[in-house]
Structure 1
Amino acid sequence: MKTNPGQLSQLLKKSLSPVYLISGDEPLLVQECCDQVRQAAKEAGFHDRLTFHADHQLDWNAVADEFSAMSLFAEKRRIEIHLPTGKLGDGRAVLERVLQSPPEDIILLLISARLDAAETRRKWYKELQGKGVHVPVWPVDADKFHGWLQQRASSRGLSLTRGALAIMSERLEGNLLAASQELDRLALLANGTTIDEETVEQAVQDSSRFSGFELVTELISGRAPHACKVISVLQQEGENPLGLLAVLSRDLNLLLELKSSGGQAENPASFLKKRGVFQPQRVRAMEQAARQLNRAQLHDAIALCSKVDRATKGFDPLSPWHYLRDMSALLAARA
């Protein structure tokens, strides 16, 4: 079965599954979900832990041997396998055999980067959904980060003024690990008092972090001011625009396809899913853009992609980020 991080705690209280898959590109949230599984397993008597890393040097036969070996004195064990690329490779056959008949004295925890669509169609994943639990972890949406930060502060017993929370949201957006660490530091400084803007100004550094995927979502969503902030951060970090350009061009062409179908061919969400757009935030942004942008805007945006490409390769006197800012203004104009 598949569940979200917020439901994992209740699920673990009901019963333990033989296998858990925690996947995603947000290290803090992935780690916290893994810690919940580990704690529940320990409380159920699964104290021994064996860890494998699925790199090129991993011998999957050794992993298979651990599952087939009888535990000494019937000790319960946790076996953790880290999948940094989100792919099993040579381990697929091993996992398929294990998942067909999971050992009762072992809990398997798979810790993975975000899975691609191809991996979720493989036999091992289908077996896992039938026997275990998959917890996909998505980054916190930009428009939900403020609320996430406020909830996180409350869970630590921290009280922040509205202005203090606004400053923290601006400086830490997109970097959950830094946000968690800053809240821990503020908890030490607060000593039961309310944190105000002055304290945050002095104590919290600007650690906002964004990816090219986030910029694409902001552009498609028409949030020009925030898109320009993301552009500035990526430009300062030396990001190569070509990395996001392929995704942006693809999304713009998908929007043209949606406009051409007139919404008659199939449900937009199904259309996008078939073409590899799965993240809920991006699906919502694409559906809204298809309704509110016209074909002329989309054609102009695709033309700007060509200019970004030329500028990145040194064939244009202007910066590629200049054209991306132009695109943010273009896509912000909605019907």
Structure 2
Amino acid sequence: MKTQPGQLPQLLKKGLSPVYLISGDEPLLVQECCDQVRKAALDAGFVDRLTFHADNQLDWNAVADEFSAMSLFAERRRIEIHLPTGKLGDGRAVLERVLQEPPEDIILLLISARLDAAETRRKWYKELQNKGVHVPIWPVDADKFLGWLQQRASSRGLSLTRGALAILGERLEGNLLAASQELDRLSLLSGTDTIDEETVEQAVQDSSRFNGFELVTELLAGRAPHAGKMIGVLQQEGENPLGLLSVLTRDLNLILELRGAASQGENPSAFLKKRGVFQPQRARVIEQASRRLSRPQLHQAIEVCSQIDRAAKGFDSLTPWHYLRDLSLLLSARF
């Protein structure tokens, strides 16, 4: 069966299914749904946990052997399989056999990127629909983001003024992971007080010596030496690079659009306001970058962002910070 993320908790209370598929491109929401399944399985006695990543090196025969093997001391197990591309490839036959008669001592959790239509027509997916639960995760639409942010804040006991909500929305739109992290930080700093614009600005300034938003500004401004120093600090502090990557990719695409609009004679300030960019500093950085960066430079930068994403998810031999340093040099160069 297919269900929505909000319905998953009630479904888990009614009992466990042998297999769960959580799919989508919103890391925060995917992670939260997976954690709900993990907790329910753990509470039900599925203690042991095995994790597989469906990359080119995965031996699906080893996966099949795990489903056939008896658990040590008859303990029930959780088997998690990550599908970064949303495709099973050589694993389809294995899952088809498993899903025909799922083992009673195993809960299977599939964690996937968004599935394409072709994959949902395959036999393994139809078997999963019959035997298990699919929770598709969809991005939060731009026009619903402020509502999502407000609801998220309320669930943490936070009260935001309209101005504070607007600033957070502008900085965090399209990046749910960063939004959740910022709200957690604000909840620690604010206590029971209402959070206003000044509190939001101060929280960002005090959150660390450097933060992801400042790094995006330095990268777009082409200040490579300072950006490199910030990258080193953020890496040492254990910052999640995915938190800033969404903001950076969004702004790079926005700069490309602004170049096209400006070439058609559209006023840059009016264009940016139409796209929801109201903060003067961010608007200034984006407008200046659109004049300084060439189209090939911007397209190449977006490709590097894809490499950062892969590296952050463990699909590259180099670290995401290596590629961020490459990006800082690329965005500072004169083409």
Q: Report the TM-score when normalising by structure 2.
A: 0.65
The runs of 5 or more residues in structure 2 that have no matched partner are 205-210, 214-243, 258-270, 303-335
Give % identity: 80
Q: Matched residue of 2:30: which SS?
A: helix
Equivalent position amino acid for 1:110 in 2: L
Distance 1:131 1:115 in 2: 18
Q: Evaluate the alpha carbon distance shift between residue 133 and residue 166 of structure 1 in structure 2; reply closer, same or farther with a 3 A threshold.
A: same
Distance 1:30 1:8 in 2: 12
Distance 2:14 2:90 in 1: 34
Distance 1:166 1:77 in 2: 45
Distance 1:239 1:15 in 2: 50
- What residue in structure 2 maps to residue 99 of structure 1? 99
- What residue in structure 1 maps to residue 186 of structure 2? 186
Equivalent position amino acid for 1:5 in 2: P
Distance 1:126 1:76 in 2: 25
- What residue in structure 1 maps to residue 142 of structure 2? 142
- What residue in structure 1 maps to residue 170 of structure 2? 170
Distance 1:36 1:144 in 2: 24
1:255-294 equivalences under 5 Å are none
Equivalent position amino acid for 1:129 in 2: Q
Distance 1:201 1:211 in 2: 21
Equivalent position amino acid for 1:79 in 2: I
Q: CA deviation at 1:132?
A: 0.4
CA distances 1:137-168 after superposition (whole Å, capped 9, x unpaired): 01111011101111111111111111111111
Q: CA deviation at 1:202?
A: 2.4
Equivalent position amino acid for 1:76 in 2: R
**Which stretch shifts more, 197-206 or 32-41?**
197-206
1:123-138 equivalences under 5 Å are 123-138=123-138
CA distances 1:88-143 after superposition (whole Å, capped 9, x unpaired): 01000000000000000000000001111111111100100110001110111101
- What residue in structure 2 maps to residue 240 of structure 1? 299
Distance 1:179 1:149 in 2: 7
Q: Evaluate the alpha carbon distance shift between residue 226 and residue 115 of structure 1 in structure 2; reply closer, same or farther with a 3 A threshold.
A: farther
Q: Matched residue of 1:117: which SS?
A: coil
- What residue in structure 2 maps to residue 2 of structure 1? 2
Q: Evaluate the alpha carbon distance shift between residue 142 and residue 228 of structure 1 in structure 2; reply closer, same or farther with a 3 A threshold.
A: closer
**Which stretch shifts more, 59-68 or 149-158?**
149-158
Equivalent position amino acid for 2:105 in 1: D
Distance 1:187 1:129 in 2: 40
Number of residue pairs matched by the alignment? 239
Q: Evaluate the alpha carbon distance shift between residue 240 and residue 227 of structure 1 in structure 2; reply closer, same or farther with a 3 A threshold.
A: farther
Equivalent position amino acid for 2:119 in 1: E
Contact preservation (8 Å) 2:170, 2:276: no
Q: CA deviation at 1:239?
A: 4.6
Q: Evaluate the alpha carbon distance shift between residue 7 and residue 173 of structure 1 in structure 2; reply closer, same or farther with a 3 A threshold.
A: same
Distance 1:228 1:166 in 2: 10
Contact preservation (8 Å) 2:189, 2:203: no
- What residue in structure 1 maps to residue 25 of structure 2? 25
CA distances 1:58-108 after superposition (whole Å, capped 9, x unpaired): 110000000011112221100000011111010000000000000000000
Distance 2:171 2:202 in 1: 12
CA RMSD after TM alignment = 3.1
- What residue in structure 1 maps to residue 75 of structure 2? 75
- What residue in structure 1 maps to residue 234 of structure 2? none
Q: Report the TM-score when normalising by structure 1.
A: 0.65
Distance 2:106 2:130 in 1: 17
